[in-house]
Structure 1
Amino acid sequence: MKAVNLKEKYDLFHDYWNPRIVAELNGQHVKVVKVKGELIWHRHEHEDELFYVIKGKLKICFENSEKTINEGELFVVPKGITHKPIAQEECWLVLFEPSGTKHTGDQKCEQTVSKFEWI
């Protein structure tokens, strides 16, 4: 057992939309990711997805609305809901999701990560 220093983990990488696993609990992965720009529209049929903003601001668009999550806030996208995350400036996130969750859910694109790295 050891503590995870999030700042040290974020210092290990500089790319966007490529989550890294930093911990696991009860079948859930805790991931860190830097984001900037847009990810594609997608949904996760069987998993809720938690976004916790460590630094910056994240907008999540839905079919008929949008939600802005500010630094220090978290937001859960319920399973089955189509969404599109957008960050105008660099944003640091912590994600909590079941270990089998696909990065871009029901869609694939050049940003899709199929195997997550542990750091």
Structure 2
Amino acid sequence: MTSEPINLDAALGSFQEFWSPRIVTKINDYDVRIAKVQGEFVWHAHDDTDEFFLVLDGELTISLPDSSVLLRRGDVFVVPRGVQHRPSSADGASILMFEPTGTVNTGDHDGDMPAHVASTAGRAL
């Protein structure tokens, strides 16, 4: 990556797509990713890794099989490995995630992919 600091506001301002995470840096074998989100993602799970979410701006709801969790700016939540979940944001949000390098954001989802969702292991900033 780079030896210079990365300003997350500037990084988020460098792209417009929703549900298309950008890799801002790496730590050990993990990507630090940011994304803009709006609307609903897809139901999915990650069998081999937990998924860490930090809300930078807005509100994010994470639906789980039997409940949902509302995250506001500054809130963090970890979805345990293997747990089905669907993030969504009615009014839009910006999030930061830690995921092992190479983890595909749509996990085990094997149905139709909505046009607004990019299935990716993250894109360079």
Q: What TM-score, normalized by structure 1, do the two folds share?
A: 0.95
Judge conservation of contact 2:61–2:88 (CA < 8 Å) in 1: yes
Describe how 1:31-46 pairs up with structure 2 within 5 A: 31-46=33-48
Describe how 1:1-119 pairs up with structure 2 within 5 A: 1-108=3-110, 109-110=113-114, 111-119=117-125
Opposite residue 20 of structure 2, the aligned amino acid is N
Could you tell me how far apart the structure 2 residues matched to 1:44 and 1:80 are? 5
**Displacement, 1:90?**
1.2
**Displacement, 1:115?**
4.8
| 3-state DSSP of counterpart to 1:21 | strand
Deviations 1:25-48 (A, max 9, x none): 110000010000000110000011
Judge conservation of contact 2:51–2:97 (CA < 8 Å) in 1: yes
Could you tell me how far apart the structure 2 residues matched to 1:88 and 1:117 are? 24
| 3-state DSSP of counterpart to 2:9 | helix
Q: What TM-score, normalized by structure 2, do the two folds share?
A: 0.91
Runs of 4+ more than 4 Å apart: none
**Displacement, 1:113?**
2.4
Unaligned 5+ segments in structure 2 are: none
Could you tell me how far apart the structure 2 residues matched to 1:84 and 1:114 are? 16
Unaligned 5+ segments in structure 1 are: none
Could you tell me how far apart the structure 1 residues matched to 2:103 and 2:6 are? 22
State the Cα RMSD in Å.
1.1
**Displacement, 1:112?**
3.4
Number of residue pairs matched by the alignment: 119
